[in-house]
A and B are shown apart, each in its own frame.
Chain A
Amino acid sequence: MMPVHSVSIKDLAVSFGSVDVLKDLNLDIADGEFLVLLGPSGCGKSTLLNCIAGLLDVSEGQIVIKGKNVTWDEPKDRGIGMVFQSYALYPQMTVEKNLSFGLRVAGLPKEEIAKRVAAAAEILQIGPLLQRKPGELSGGQRQRVAIGRALVRDVDVFLFDEPLSNLDAKLRSELRVEIKRLHHKLANTMIYVTHDQIEALTLADRIAVMKGGLIQQLDEPLTIYNKPRNLFVASFIGSPAMNFLKGEIVTQGAAPAFRSGDFVVSLDGYESQEPLTDGAEVIFGFRPEHVSINDTPGPADRSCAASVDIEEPMGSDSLIWLKIAGKPASVRTEAGRRFKPGDNVWLTFNPAMASVFDANTENRI
């Protein structure tokens, strides 16, 4: 049986004059999936969302929503609801009128409108605010109303364009959980654009990491985090960021190893996609939490000595900066442990959790 796709994007391209914003983009989003489009600004993620919404004309390709080709359809005919970063509430209308505007435009009967508005207000707990104007609401309440406006439309696909970026850190994390809860409750397809990797990792069923109008990697959050397909994804995802060392592959005993100057670490246990050939120039990447700091040496083939440069206590854990093979690198450790600059420690690596990239193509090997 064919898998049911809620949204399918086929060979999509968008160009403004001579600038190609999106090229040859293919994406299938399953029914009820939460897909996050993640990337730095200018990567085309918002452009893609606007194309799906029908707010932007595509140059090439097709957009199919629920089996219907909507490439040339008006936004209202696509079965989508959209939430914007700046809320985009109609300032002169009350919350109730804001919620019902689309339904009134569509000419629904009054009782049906009242029922849907009440249901949305119930889900989002904005009942007491219905008679207020947007100017009298806080940022979090406004964004809730904006979500409600998408909710009342009773659509298959929700589109979020950086909905939390205008909120302060505390509200952002609260509303993030609420959006996730909403997704569980409604089981709609949701497409969510953000540049915030925490939002992406916490919300997504799958993340599409974008750069330069291309999808760099489309995978589940943990796969993206642990097995980034290229150097860009590896450096974009993760905070504190992944450490990188440039070097080459050597053979150490029976197993391949990574060498950079005097620093050698075994790659025994690393699941490579291509054979690790001797002498190949590579970039070795490891996340701060995949290295342990000890007072004594670990297994000889995956352990090295280092001296502490500086420590950054973060409350829940600490980030220790050291020099490995002459390059600064960071390692995460428990909050209770304190280090002074100049302390000599032993680091133990975990090859299974490392990433190795071809130095030329920057792809994972």
Chain B
Amino acid sequence: MSTRPSIGEPRGRKPKRFLSPASIMIYGILIVAAIYYLVPLYVMIMTSIKGMPEIRLGNIFSPPVEVTFQPWVTAWNSACTGLSCEGIKVGFFNSMKILIPSVIISIIVASVNGYALSNWRFKGSEFFFTALIFGAFIPYQVMLYPLVIITRELGIFGTLTGVIVIHTIFGMPILTLLFRNYFVSLPPELFKAARVDGAGFWRIFLQIMLPMSVPIFVVAVILQVTGIWNDFLFGVIFAGTKNFPMTVQLNNIVNSTQGVKEYNVNMAATILTGAVPLLVYFFSGKYFVRGIAAGAVKG
């Protein structure tokens, strides 16, 4: 006769308690953190779809009685920045004109840098790399004045080219580090095999390394897009009044001293400015975390 285990005797999968103290703590903290970040966003969205009379009542948390999208249209088309009243769209297109070339050029240069530093070690390459990384820790402010003079002497101060060059240079340390660490983590034997097969510097880079590096390129694009889009300092100094990026234009709208403060327009303009990095994170957050982990931990 076989003895059956009585009910309650441990057997099979161990049951998990649904509400353990640990999970209560974890979810509690997560919920508080989520509220902390979502409440301002909620207030901004609500305010941006209210009319001014409703805003003056002062109930910032209450949803709008009458929904209006006019503040958004105004913010985009006709909000005043200083003397001109063409809305924040001018800033949006300026930011795009700065962003796209800066991102492309900085990533191309940095990826080649990182590849050369990881696979084609030359005399002094370690020193070069250390110097580059050291550059990442020098506060920007220290270099502003010399850079103003340099760009002035080159005749690119206050131009699109000027601000693009500045963004490319300042993106170099962190991007090179990112790419170098990624390429170092690839098996060195692949590089050796390609050399035995007769491939040279560019062919190995373009045909072997690049196809394997999509994740790190995504990370680099995210880093650069958000970094350059959110930049204020370089834009205001180097771009010139014609080319002020969106962040600078936003500041000019929000801080304009004339007339009534149109909170709904300001909120709409702020959300519009923040939308680009927000969307980038939203659609590629997964790659971002993965790439940072892959690129930064090893090395």
Expressed in whole angstroms, the Cα–Cα distance for A92 and B198 within the complex equals 18
The answer to whether the Cβ of B152 comes within 8 Å of any Cβ in the partner chain is: no
Binds A, one of B186-194, B229-237, B270-278: B186-194
Do A92 and B196 contact each other (CB < 8 Å), given the known contacts A84-B189, A85-B189? no
Interchain CB contact (< 8 A) of B190 among A82, A85, A90, A102: A90
Interface residues of A in 100-128 (CB under 8 A from B): 101-102, 105-106
Interchain CB contact (< 8 A) of B196 among A76, A86, A87, A89: A76
Interface residues of B in 177-215 (CB under 8 A from A): 187, 189-190, 192-199, 203, 207-208, 211-212
**Does A82 lie within 8 Å of B193, measured CB to CB?**
yes
Do A102 and B187 contact each other (CB < 8 Å), given the known contacts A90-B208, A92-B211? no
Expressed in whole angstroms, the Cα–Cα distance for A26 and B203 within the complex equals 35
The answer to whether the Cβ of A264 comes within 8 Å of any Cβ in the partner chain is: no
**Does A88 lie within 8 Å of B193, measured CB to CB?**
yes
The answer to whether the Cβ of A80 comes within 8 Å of any Cβ in the partner chain is: yes
Do A101 and B197 contact each other (CB < 8 Å), given the known contacts A91-B212, A92-B211? yes
Question: How far in angstroms is the closest Cβ of chain B from A77?
Answer: 8
Question: Looking across the interface, which residue of chain B has its beta carbon closest to that of A97?
Answer: B207
The answer to whether the Cβ of A75 comes within 8 Å of any Cβ in the partner chain is: yes
Interface residues of A in 35-54 (CB under 8 A from B): 50, 53-54
- Tell me the count of chain A residues lying within 8 A, CB to CB, of chain B: 25
Question: Looking across the interface, which residue of chain A has its beta carbon closest to that of B199?
Answer: A105
Interchain CB contact (< 8 A) of B192 among A55, A89, A90, A91: A55
Question: How far in angstroms is the closest Cβ of chain B from A336?
Answer: 41
Question: How far in angstroms is the closest Cβ of chain B from A16?
Answer: 12
Question: Looking across the interface, which residue of chain B has its beta carbon closest to that of A77?
Answer: B198
Contacts of A55 in B (CB 8 A): 192, 195-196
Question: How far in angstroms is the closest Cβ of chain A from B235?
Answer: 39
Most chain A CB within a 10 A radius of its CB, from B193, B195, B196, B208: B196
The answer to whether the Cβ of A144 comes within 8 Å of any Cβ in the partner chain is: no
**Does B192 lie within 8 Å of A84, measured CB to CB?**
yes
Contacts of B211 in A (CB 8 A): 91-92
**Does B196 lie within 8 Å of A81, measured CB to CB?**
yes
Expressed in whole angstroms, the Cα–Cα distance for A149 and B197 within the complex equals 9
Question: How far in angstroms is the closest Cβ of chain A from B208?
Answer: 6
**Does B189 lie within 8 Å of A102, measured CB to CB?**
no
Interchain CB contact (< 8 A) of B197 among A50, A76, A92: A76
Question: How far in angstroms is the closest Cβ of chain B from A38?
Answer: 21
- Give chain B's interface secondary structure class: helix
- Tell me the count of chain B residues lying within 8 A, CB to CB, of chain A: 16
Contacts of B197 in A (CB 8 A): 76, 101-102, 105, 149, 153
- Give chain A's interface secondary structure class: loop
**Does B199 lie within 8 Å of A86, measured CB to CB?**
no
Contacts of B199 in A (CB 8 A): 101-102, 105
Expressed in whole angstroms, the Cα–Cα distance for A91 and B186 within the complex equals 11
Question: Looking across the interface, which residue of chain B has its beta carbon closest to that of A82?
Answer: B196
Do A105 and B189 contact each other (CB < 8 Å), given the known contacts A76-B197, A81-B196? no
**Does B208 lie within 8 Å of A82, measured CB to CB?**
no
Expressed in whole angstroms, the Cα–Cα distance for A105 and B196 within the complex equals 11
**Does B192 lie within 8 Å of A88, measured CB to CB?**
yes
**Does A106 lie within 8 Å of B190, measured CB to CB?**
no
User: Interface 1/0s, chain A 61-101, versus B by CB < 8 A?
Assistant: 00000000000001110001110111111111000000001
Contacts of A101 in B (CB 8 A): 194, 197, 199, 207
**Does B203 lie within 8 Å of A92, measured CB to CB?**
no
Question: Looking across the interface, which residue of chain A has its beta carbon closest to that of B190?
Answer: A88
Contacts of B189 in A (CB 8 A): 84-88
Contacts of A91 in B (CB 8 A): 211-212
Most chain B CB within a 10 A radius of its CB, from A90, A91, A92, A102: A90
Contacts of A105 in B (CB 8 A): 197-199, 203
Question: How far in angstroms is the closest Cβ of chain A from B5?
Answer: 39
User: Interface 1/0s, chain A 200-230, versus B by CB < 8 A?
Assistant: 0000000000000000000000000000000
Contacts of A92 in B (CB 8 A): 211-212
Expressed in whole angstroms, the Cα–Cα distance for A84 and B110 within the complex equals 30
**Does A53 lie within 8 Å of B190, measured CB to CB?**
no
Expressed in whole angstroms, the Cα–Cα distance for A106 and B194 within the complex equals 12
Do A149 and B193 contact each other (CB < 8 Å), given the known contacts A76-B198, A86-B187, A92-B211? yes
Expressed in whole angstroms, the Cα–Cα distance for A21 and B197 within the complex equals 26
Interchain CB contact (< 8 A) of A102 among B192, B196, B212: B196
Expressed in whole angstroms, the Cα–Cα distance for A54 and B195 within the complex equals 9
Expressed in whole angstroms, the Cα–Cα distance for A87 and B187 within the complex equals 10
Do A53 and B212 contact each other (CB < 8 Å), given the known contacts A86-B187, A88-B189, A88-B190? no
Contacts of B198 in A (CB 8 A): 74-76, 102, 105-106
Contacts of B187 in A (CB 8 A): 86, 88
**Does B196 lie within 8 Å of A75, measured CB to CB?**
yes
Expressed in whole angstroms, the Cα–Cα distance for A363 and B220 within the complex equals 59
**Does B195 lie within 8 Å of A75, measured CB to CB?**
yes
Expressed in whole angstroms, the Cα–Cα distance for A84 and B189 within the complex equals 7
Expressed in whole angstroms, the Cα–Cα distance for A86 and B191 within the complex equals 12
Expressed in whole angstroms, the Cα–Cα distance for A15 and B277 within the complex equals 50
Contacts of B195 in A (CB 8 A): 54-55, 74-76
Contacts of A50 in B (CB 8 A): 192
Do A84 and B193 contact each other (CB < 8 Å), given the known contacts A76-B198, A92-B212, A106-B198? yes
Expressed in whole angstroms, the Cα–Cα distance for A50 and B198 within the complex equals 15
In the A-B complex, list the 6 residue pairs whose CB atoms are closest, starting with the nearest: A76-B198, A102-B197, A88-B189, A88-B193, A92-B211, A84-B189
Give 9 A-B pairs besides A91-B211, A91-B212 with Cβ atoms closer than 8 angstroms: A54-B195, A75-B198, A88-B187, A88-B189, A88-B190, A90-B193, A90-B208, A101-B199, A105-B203
19 intermolecular pairs with C-beta atoms under 8 Å apart: A53-B196, A54-B195, A74-B195, A75-B196, A76-B196, A76-B197, A84-B189, A84-B192, A85-B189, A86-B187, A87-B189, A88-B189, A90-B190, A90-B193, A90-B207, A90-B208, A106-B198, A149-B197, A153-B197
